[in-house]
Structure 1
Amino acid sequence: MSLLPFDAFLKNVSSKPYQITKAGYLEEGKYPVVDQGQKFITGYSNNDEKVFKNDESVIIFGDHTRLIKYVDFDFVIGADGTKVLIPVDDSIDTKYAYYHLLSTKIENLGYSRHYKLLKEKTFVKPSMEKQQEIVKALDKAKELIGLRQEALDKLDELAQSVFIDMFGDPILNPNNLVIKKLDDVSQKITDGEHGTVARTETGRMYLMARNISKLGELDLTELSFISEESHNKIFKRCNAEYNDLLLVCVGATIGKCTLVPDMKDFSLARSVALIKPIKTEMNSKYLLYFFKTEFMRRQIEKSSNASAQAGLYTGAIKKMKIMIPSLNLQKKFASIIEKLEVQKSYYKVELDKLQENFDALLAQNFEG
């Protein structure tokens, strides 16, 4: 077993000839686009000249996001900051290297570049037989996670189907429901603190885009804190409360949203917008699921700029269009969703256990 520096373990493949900008992404096409974003495939392209011919497999490392992906098909590389890595030679299994990178802790520098930190790490290289044994065990654990995630996704799909059945597709609006600007049915639409806020070891939670998970929940595993004084100043303008909508409005995960649960007051950073619905006009769960529709996704995409550090500003959010059915029908929808959420909660407990098992296997093989 050998302990290797980065340059003796992995090498960076020049990806510039195969990159396209986010503005060039298509909704459908011949070739998938893989970049450093949260989604595994973030778009498509028909540009034959930009296809990265993937004879075996490669690892994607997000220079800004620290996200790691294993890709074993031909694809187009999306946007700046997407590093393509392969083993330095045949003595290192690509899937083994991928799992090793997943176990590697890299400090979060925000939207700065992280590849330089990765290059400072060292990596364990056992025999090829041992590498493949490790890969087999981790593949199985990952497969179980995928199956449970699929079950959760199906519940989300069911919820969206219920939405369409009850209200119609907002793109077509077959029931001729009233369309209003989001600002007209909201008490307040704002975003978090724009200035620099001093962090503290303890204090009030200071939540940002990373704290809204891909599952549409608050993720409090990686927290920042600020003083009571700073919190009070921010909270006067941006007072997130129970059942308000939080919307990621800066960065790679724009559009992710969740409702505020019953919890202690916290402050928001600029990367999260706050939407307070007028309770006599709009139910919070209806608002949440409206934001998950294709109609709203298109509005968000159109309103946010196409740079790597995309931004969705409050002025644009206020102008977004939303269908307004009767409040009674919205509440009926919310009641159905609450029953589905009970089932989702069971699945999430199981998913957490499977993830803990996977993380333990990673630690056992790469950190011990």
Structure 2
Amino acid sequence: MFLRKWEPEMIDWKITPFSECIVRHEVKRQNQINNSEIQAVGRFPVIDQGQSFIAGYTNDEERVIYNGLPYIIFGDHTRCFKFVDFPFVLGADGTKVLKPDEARFDSKFFYFALINQKIPSRGYNRHFKLLKESSVPHPADTWEQKKIASLLTLVQRAIEQQERLIALTTELKKALMHKLFTDGRRGEKQKQTEIGPVPESWKVIPLGSLLKMAQYGLSVKGSAAGSYPMLRMTNQINGQIVPNDLKWVEISEADFNKFSVKRGDVLFNRTNSYDLVGRTAIFDLDGEYAFASYLIRLRVDHDMLDSFFLNHYLNCDETQQRLKSIATRAVSQSNISATRLKSFMIPLPSLEEQDEVISTLNIVDKKIAEHKQFAYALQCLFQTLLHQLMTAQIRVKDLDLTELGYEPIATG
């Protein structure tokens, strides 16, 4: 059993056992749909316990829930809460439908109060029992609940806007990459090649002829301590090497010199699932790092090829599909050997035009990074406000949030 701590500022708040917070509803088994029946497109959204807000769609109108909205959907296995205020069909696996008592709760406030419960994880076991044992702090005045909910909704919508901008800009980058690697930057006529159309002045040559080195990494198991951090395929994120969740290795200085990475090295994921094999990231960090055996370190001849151009090209969607076509497939993993990779054909413009392509894509990357940074700041703000508003450490009436576009709900 877990209870929220009673705060001294909560003198005009109540703490209500969860069982007294909810009322019966009319959602029945006939409103549910099995996972196998969910479609990618359709008339009616399906809400399940998964991380994605909408699991898919269905055209079966007989299962649609129209009455009694809004509802809160709880994922019994996932601990996800979803606020649903539109007609929907319920996913069958592990979903609990909650209807707050509107005599005590504003529905949106109750949703945020549940998010703040921080139910401890029991793995993929069921968690509703823990939720039933909880208690929910809330202002006695539902008008204050509405104010809290409207403020948190404002921040939540700002986060969603940034996430949409990230998705939109990411799609823009994909389209831009396709255009840059087929049309170039200078309006040249195209020529047809074995890898598709490219500008007439570009060459198409094997990657290996542009490399000084293509080397496999260390076959040493990492641990929590050691002389050097070791980069793994999990450190490849959106084309960049990110030093998160590092493992360490104890190796000699001679071995480190052999298996170290330098700024501008490209790390290629040679062994992974079919979907992820061929994933590529560039090393652009300070510090000393080794790299693991499932990666190939590509060190380019800078007289002919810019490693940042190579990294962008290898991460292009069309290139990723071509890379998968040369992978050796097994039951659970696929592999692209260094030999095959060196024979992989790539386009080669002049170094000057390579730099132009890099600069163009860097502008888009900078915009994506700005949106991500703002989204992260908003998420931190949301979590802080959620905790402090739900424990009365701060009160809505004490905040001046007009610059965020927040307008308090009138109480008179």
- In the superposition, the TM-score normalised over structure 2's length comes to 0.56
Contact map agreement 2:278 2:336 (CA 8 A) in 1: no
What pairs with 1:110-259 in structure 2 (closer than 5 Å)? 112-113=123-124, 115-116=126-127, 119=130, 122-126=134-138, 127=140, 128-168=142-182, 176-179=192-195, 199=224, 204=229, 209=234, 224=245, 226-229=247-250, 242=263, 244-245=266-267, 259=282
Q: 1:337 aligns with which of 361, 365, 369?
A: 361
Contact map agreement 2:216 2:297 (CA 8 A) in 1: no
Q: Tell me, what secondary structure is at the counterpart of 1:262?
A: coil
Contact map agreement 2:47 2:54 (CA 8 A) in 1: yes
Residues 262 and 19 of structure 1: CA distance in aligned 2, closer, same or farther (over 3 Å): same
Q: What letter is aligned with 1:138?
A: L
1:248-307 deviations in Å (ceiling 9; x for gaps): 95799999975444144568899xx6454463578445544654537847997xx9x9xx
Contact map agreement 1:242 1:261 (CA 8 A) in 2: yes
Q: 1:86 aligns with which of 94, 97, 105?
A: 97
Larger radius of gyration: 2
Aligned to 2:34: 18
Contact map agreement 1:238 1:274 (CA 8 A) in 2: no
Q: 2:317 aligns with which of 267, 276, 293?
A: 293
Structure 2 distance, partners of 1:277, 1:124, is 55
Corresponding position: 1:325 with 2:347:
yes
TM superposition shift of 1:96:
3.2
Contact map agreement 2:155 2:382 (CA 8 A) in 1: yes
Contact map agreement 1:240 1:274 (CA 8 A) in 2: no
Contact map agreement 1:45 1:76 (CA 8 A) in 2: no
Q: State, as a whole percentage, how many aligned pairs show the same letter.
A: 18
Structure 2 distance, partners of 1:85, 1:295, is 44
Aligned to 2:378: 354
Contact map agreement 2:15 2:136 (CA 8 A) in 1: yes
Residues 67 and 276 of structure 1: CA distance in aligned 2, closer, same or farther (over 3 Å): farther
Q: What letter is aligned with 2:383?
A: D
Residues 61 and 260 of structure 1: CA distance in aligned 2, closer, same or farther (over 3 Å): farther
1:86-107 deviations in Å (ceiling 9; x for gaps): 3254345553344345445466
Residues 237 and 250 of structure 1: CA distance in aligned 2, closer, same or farther (over 3 Å): farther
TM superposition shift of 1:134:
1.8
TM superposition shift of 1:140:
0.7
Aligned to 2:335: 314
1:77-126 deviations in Å (ceiling 9; x for gaps): 49xxx6434325434555334434544546678xx426449936835241
Corresponding position: 1:262 with 2:258:
no
Aligned residues: 342
Contact map agreement 1:59 1:71 (CA 8 A) in 2: yes
Q: What letter is aligned with 1:357?
A: L
Contact map agreement 2:268 2:298 (CA 8 A) in 1: no
Contact map agreement 1:20 1:50 (CA 8 A) in 2: no
Structure 1 distance, partners of 2:82, 2:258, is 39
Q: Tell me, what secondary structure is at the counterpart of 2:124?
A: coil
Structure 2 distance, partners of 1:340, 1:199, is 36
Q: Tell me, what secondary structure is at the counterpart of 2:70?
A: coil
Q: What letter is aligned with 1:326?
A: L
Contact map agreement 1:212 1:258 (CA 8 A) in 2: yes
Residues 285 and 50 of structure 1: CA distance in aligned 2, closer, same or farther (over 3 Å): farther
Q: Any unmatched runs of 5+ in structure 2?
A: 1-13, 184-189, 196-203, 394-412
Residues 287 and 203 of structure 1: CA distance in aligned 2, closer, same or farther (over 3 Å): closer
RMSD: 5.9
Q: What letter is aligned with 2:97?
A: I
Q: Any unmatched runs of 5+ in structure 1?
A: none
Residues 53 and 278 of structure 1: CA distance in aligned 2, closer, same or farther (over 3 Å): farther
Q: Tell me, what secondary structure is at the counterpart of 1:20?
A: helix
Q: What letter is aligned with 1:229?
A: E
Contact map agreement 1:31 1:76 (CA 8 A) in 2: no
Residues 150 and 282 of structure 1: CA distance in aligned 2, closer, same or farther (over 3 Å): same
TM superposition shift of 1:59:
3.2
